[in-house]
């Protein structure tokens, strides 16, 4: 659960990061940004901000934003019915972006969220610089993290099935619950 003030704060910071990255948004686009805390109630540590540009029955395009040192938890996009699962291309736009996928442990830049060693099992680090991209085949377990300046990236994928994502951390709840301020 995330408080409305904190939710609005991270969304506003993310919109500024998008602006600073040189991506032009319409007023309608700006209203589409959302923040996911994965039910962990520590959005600035584990979470992500998402602005969906388009989502059809076949393809989707999003702008993803990680605040400084923010981590998107380890997950994968599973098979759904006859669909093999979401295939995704991440293209770095600005900031520092550390991606973790299956492979040898070569972790140098990122860090494991304190107390979550069992929830972040991948240590094969790929540093994406602005303009570089990574293709994630369907079903590939992965997680990613921003460095000290945060990161803005594009996500181009097959059909979005995010609410069906699977996570290594069994405490994760994919749908964000926003706590409204109490009236006195």
| Beta strand ranges found along 12-141 (DSSP E) | 34-36, 48-55, 59-66, 71-76, 88-101, 124-128, 133-136
As a whole number, the mean pLDDT across the chain is 94
* Total domains present in the chain: 1
Q: Say what the pLDDT of residue 18 is.
A: 98
* pLDDT of 182 above 80: no
Span 41-69, pLDDT tens digits: 999 999 999 999 999 999 999 999 999 99
Contact 103, 124 (CB under 8 A): yes
Q: What is the CATH number of the domain that holds 111?
A: 2.60.120.10
Nearest to 128 by CA among 152, 98, 102: 98
Q: Is residue 76 part of a domain?
A: yes
C-alpha separations of 113 from 1, 8, 23, 25, 121 in Å: 19, 24, 30, 32, 11
CA gyration radius for the chain?
16
Q: Is residue 173 part of a domain?
A: yes
The residues that bridge with 114 in the sheet, in sequence order, are none
DSSP tag of 169: S
Range of the domain at 13: 2-179
Q: Is residue 30 part of a domain?
A: yes
Q: Is residue 60 part of a domain?
A: yes
DSSP tag of 31: T
Q: Is residue 69 part of a domain?
A: yes
Q: Is residue 184 part of a domain?
A: no
State the average pLDDT over residues 21-30: 97
The total of other beta-carbon atoms located within 10 Å of residue 108's CB is 7
Span 126-173, pLDDT tens digits: 999 999 999 999 999 999 999 999 999 999 999 877 778 999 999 998
* pLDDT of 23 above 80: yes
């Amino acid at each position: 659960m995330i408080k409305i003030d904190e939710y609005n704060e991270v969304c506003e910071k993310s919109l500024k990061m998008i602006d600073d990255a040189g991506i032009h948004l319409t007023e309608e686009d700006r209203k589409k940004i959302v923040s996911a805390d994965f039910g962990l109630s520590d959005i600035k540590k584990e979470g992500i901000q998402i602005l969906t540009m388009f989502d059809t029955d076949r393809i989707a395009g999003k702008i993803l934003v990680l605040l400084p040192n923010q981590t998107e938890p380890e997950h994968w996009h599973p098979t759904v019915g006859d669909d093999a699962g979401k295939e995704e291309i991440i293209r770095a736009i600005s900031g520092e972006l550390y991606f973790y996928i299956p492979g040898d442990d070569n972790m140098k830049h990122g860090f494991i969220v304190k107390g979550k060693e069992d929830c972040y099992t991948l240590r094969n680090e790929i540093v994406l610089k602005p303009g570089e991209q990574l293709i994630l085949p369907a079903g590939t377990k992965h997680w990613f993290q921003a460095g000290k300046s945060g990161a803005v990236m594009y996500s181009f994928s097959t059909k979005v099935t995010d609410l069906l994502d699977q996570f290594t951390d069994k405490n994760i709840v994919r749908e964000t619950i926003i706590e409204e301020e109490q009236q006195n």
